């Protein structure tokens, strides 16, 4: 294991990249971080992910693994002995994968609509976004983490969006904590862990990034912007 080489091609505001950073930190895996300029993608990125040409890309001993959910599962399988993320019970694994898939299909797109739209479209996005977070609160229940007593797969998949919550709130003029206090309490518990807090950028920095995009690009063009889209 000592001869292994792990490289992560990433872009700092990406919640998908944050998942991989967090999973590697939870496992205590050292890796080389390579920041990508998504307006001028590196030859390495194009070589390692020739199909989608997007970040994050996890490179393990020269072999690329793409798509963040797959990457987090891969990390858990390759380094299974420290801080397992997925349950060993097949049914519980299936439930964890279901909620991770729910996060994947709902939270990013709805959050993006909150900060890139206005008027009725934004209000509808906020309503659906909060409804999804409430469903996640229901799944969390009275547990400390989605993984139970310890950080698990769903926690790692969802918690990166906490770094975007402030930007959503400022752009959408609403309070996530007021609507979903248990989920925010969960996020703050996660942030008490160095593996999480050191893997996620500051909320104010993300908000500054969003303001920069809105100012430089304009709301009308942001939806087509590839810097932080699923296809970047």
pLDDT in tens, 148-199: 999 999 999 999 999 999 999 999 999 999 999 999 999 999 999 999 999 9
User: What CATH number belongs to 6-78?
Assistant: 3.40.30.10
pLDDT at position 23 is 98
Q: What angle do CA 105, 110, 111 make, to 5 degrees?
A: 115
- Coil vs helix vs strand at 225: coil
Looking at residue 166, what is its pLDDT?
Answer: 98
CA atoms within 13 A on the CB side of 2: 0
Domain coordinates in residue numbering, the chain: 6-78, 90-229
Predicted pLDDT of residue 226: 38
What pLDDT score was predicted for residue 224?
A: 47
Query: Which residues are CB-neighbours of 136 under 8 A, at least 6 positions away?
Result: 99, 102, 103, 158, 183
Global confidence as pTM: 0.93
Backbone torsions φ then ψ of 82, nearest 5 degrees? -115, 125
Regarding predicted confidence, which is higher, 222 or 28?
A: 28
Fold of 90-229: Glutathione S-transferase Yfyf (Class Pi); Chain A, domain 2 (1.20.1050)
Over 70: is that where the pLDDT of 221 sits?
A: no
How much is the pLDDT for 219? 57
Is the pLDDT score of 100 beyond 50? yes
Span 59-75, average pLDDT: 98
pLDDT at 1 over 90: no
90-229 matches 6-78 in CATH topology: no
């Amino acid at each position: 294991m000592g001869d292994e080489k792990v490289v992560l091609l990433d872009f700092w505001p990406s919640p998908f990249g944050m998942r991989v950073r967090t999973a590697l930190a939870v496992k205590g895996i050292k890796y080389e971080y390579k920041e990508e300029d998504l307006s001028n993608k590196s030859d390495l990125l194009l070589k390692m992910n020739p199909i989608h040409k997007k970040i994050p890309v996890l490179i393990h001993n020269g072999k690329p693994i793409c798509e963040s959910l797959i990457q987090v599962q891969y990390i858990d399988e390759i380094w299974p002995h420290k801080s397992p993320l997925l349950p060993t019970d097949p049914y519980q694994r299936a439930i964890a994968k279901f909620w991770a898939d729910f996060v994947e299909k709902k939270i990013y797109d709805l959050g993006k609509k909150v900060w890139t739209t206005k008027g009725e479209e934004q209000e509808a996005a906020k309503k659906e976004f909060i409804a999804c977070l409430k469903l996640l609160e229901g799944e969390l229940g009275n547990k400390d983490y989605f993984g139970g007593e310890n950080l698990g797969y769903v926690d790692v998949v969802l918690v990166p969006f906490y770094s975007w919550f402030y930007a959503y709130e400022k752009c959408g003029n609403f309070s996530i904590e007021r609507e979903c206090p248990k989920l925010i309490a969960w996020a703050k518990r996660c942030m008490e862990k160095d593996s999480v807090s050191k893997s996620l950028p500051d909320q104010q920095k993300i908000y500054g990034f969003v303001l920069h995009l809105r100012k430089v690009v304009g709301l009308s063009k942001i939806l087509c912007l590839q810097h932080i889209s699923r296809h970047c």
